[in-house]
Amino acid sequence: MLRKVYLVGGHVTPFVGKGYPNFQKGAKGLKEYFAESIQGAFQKTGVKAESIDRIYVGNFAGELFNSQGHLGAAVAAAHPALLYRPSMRVEAACASGGLACAEAVRAIKSGDDCVMAVGVEVQTEADARTGGTYLARAADFNRQSSIDDFTFPALFARRAKAYLTKYPDVQMADLAGVGVKAYSNGNKNPLAHMHAIQLPPEKAVAGKEFLQNADLKPFVQHTHCSQVSDGGAAAIFMSEEGLKRSGLNEQSAVEIVASDYGVGDLWSDPADLTVMDTTKAVVTRMLASAGVSPSDLEVAEVHDCFAIAEVLMYEAIGLAGPGKGRPCSRAKTEEQI
């Protein structure tokens, strides 16, 4: 487990959907995104397909959105040399791509020298309500899907309600500001789904409510929500020996100091909806293993499926105290970094 692990590089496709310039529904499917992501990673890094020892595929619900499972075998669309290689799909809802990367790191530490992680999602083929029902499979479906047609926005609205109740100095306008920051960063990234869409503060504050659950409806708006997108990404990880074999050096790669993941309890609700307790436990464990404290972190990219999720992530990581996560979203933008 003392082997060093390096991220050599990779490729990210444009992430597209409603609102992306010239978006055409169904223009690309899973096969095309797999090929584009993996081939792009080879081209950008100079790594040969023949060097790949193992592949992990991250995908959440291909069987539902695309009527296609068995996606470990989908990598052969990119290059004939990937045929017969060890390749498997891993699934962890919104963390599926991260899990693929974490398993790639573990594979390098366990003896492989060159491992690829690839993630692909095509979710625009389903209408919003149907897609929301598909995504609800990441919750306890039998217990929680009835909360609203849009289960996950409702579940996070429940967290927002609890947070605003516990911390009355935080307002819905503060959560709207998280979306403003996110859109501003996306406007600077030509690969971002909402690259061309502006979100001024006044529009964010006046975002449309859409839940049918009357109790939760006031606590989430369209501008608080991430978009339904299609796209893919691939990353290549190597050991020191893998770098040498590919003619690369440590200076051309990024060392992975630590990675970790963990799960909560699917079958029950957290005791405190204002705390991302699973994130807190796993990140605390990971930072401790690396000898790093939250104050050492200069850049944090957190999951922001909903505005309240981003705020809670800051607090779970330790970048802000309880009830103090909102100002973190005003930190440096990508352009300033």
Q: In this structure, what CATH number is given to the domain that contains residue 310?
A: 3.40.47.10
Is 6 in contact with 238 (CB distance < 8 Å)?
Answer: yes
Q: Are residues 71 and 183 in the same domain?
A: no
Q: Are residues 191 and 46 in the same domain?
A: no
pLDDT of residue 1: 54
- Exposed (0-12), middle (13-18) or buried (19+): which is 176, by Cβ within 10 Å? buried
Q: Are residues 168 and 95 in the same domain?
A: no
pLDDT of residue 328: 73
Q: Are residues 180 and 276 in the same domain?
A: yes
Q: Are residues 155 and 39 in the same domain?
A: no
For residue 80, being part of any structural domain is answered with yes
Pairing of strands 114-122, 230-238: antiparallel
CA distances from 267 to 96, 124, 300 (A): 20, 29, 30
d(CA 88, CA 177) in angstroms, rounded, equals: 39
Full domain range(s) for residue 10: 6-124+228-255
Contacts 24+ apart (CB under 8 A), 321-324: 322/167, 322/274, 322/275, 323/163, 323/166, 323/167, 323/169, 323/170, 323/274
Is 42 in contact with 80 (CB distance < 8 Å)?
Answer: no
For residue 281, being part of any structural domain is answered with yes
Q: Are residues 222 and 234 in the same domain?
A: no
Q: Are residues 156 and 63 in the same domain?
A: no
The tally of domains found in the chain comes to 2
pLDDT in tens, the chain (337 residues): 589 999 999 999 999 999 999 999 999 999 999 999 999 999 999 999 999 999 999 999 999 999 999 999 999 999 999 999 999 999 999 999 999 999 999 999 999 999 999 999 999 999 999 999 999 999 999 999 999 999 999 999 999 999 999 999 999 999 999 999 999 999 999 999 999 999 999 999 999 999 999 999 999 999 999 999 999 999 999 999 999 999 999 999 999 999 999 999 999 999 999 999 999 999 999 999 999 999 999 999 999 999 999 999 999 999 999 999 987 766 554 444 3
**Measured between alpha carbons, how far apart are the two ends of the chain, in Å?**
33
CA distances from 272 to 144, 162, 313, 322 (A): 17, 9, 14, 12
Q: Are residues 163 and 196 in the same domain?
A: yes
Q: Are residues 108 and 240 in the same domain?
A: yes
Would you give the distance in Å from CA 142 to the centre of its chain? Answer: 25
- What are the start-end ranges of the E strands in the chain? 6-12, 54-58, 87-90, 114-122, 230-238, 254-255
Q: Are residues 156 and 286 in the same domain?
A: yes
For residue 130, being part of any structural domain is answered with no
**Neighbour tally for 288: CB within 10 Å:** 12
pLDDT of residue 2: 84
Q: Are residues 293 and 282 in the same domain?
A: yes
For residue 138, being part of any structural domain is answered with no
Q: Are residues 158 and 213 in the same domain?
A: yes
Is the entire prediction scored with pTM above 0.85?
yes
Helix H or strand E encompassing 167: none
